[in-house]
Amino acid sequence: MAKDLRQLDDGQLVERLAETKQELFNLRFQFVTGQLESPAAVTKAKRQVARINTILREREIAAAERLAEES
């Protein structure tokens, strides 16, 4: 899962993040209304959001380090 995400570029990751956040919103709504069959889906979506945010932050830090080395 994380390997697949690391192969995406930043734009695709941001797009995937938005999709996953929307999915998480919908899952939470279903959970509250009692329509969700698998509560574990909420946890999976949360972890997916965290994975994407981590990858984006790692890339941000790496870019800042490269910039600092060039200066």
Q: 7 pLDDT band (50/70/90 cuts)? A: very high
CA distance 38 to 60: 35
Residue-level pLDDT at 71: 78
CATH T-level fold of 2-70 = Helix Hairpins (1.10.287)
CA distance 43 to 49: 10
Residue-level pLDDT at 70: 87
Q: What is the pLDDT of residues 22-57, one digit of tens each?
A: 999 999 999 999 999 999 999 999 999 999 999 999
- Cα distances (angstroms) measured from residue 57 to each of 42, 54, 69: 23, 5, 18
Q: What helix, strand, coil percent values describe the chain, rounded to 5?
A: 85, 0, 15
- With 0.85 as the threshold, say if the pTM is over it: yes
Residue-level pLDDT at 27: 98
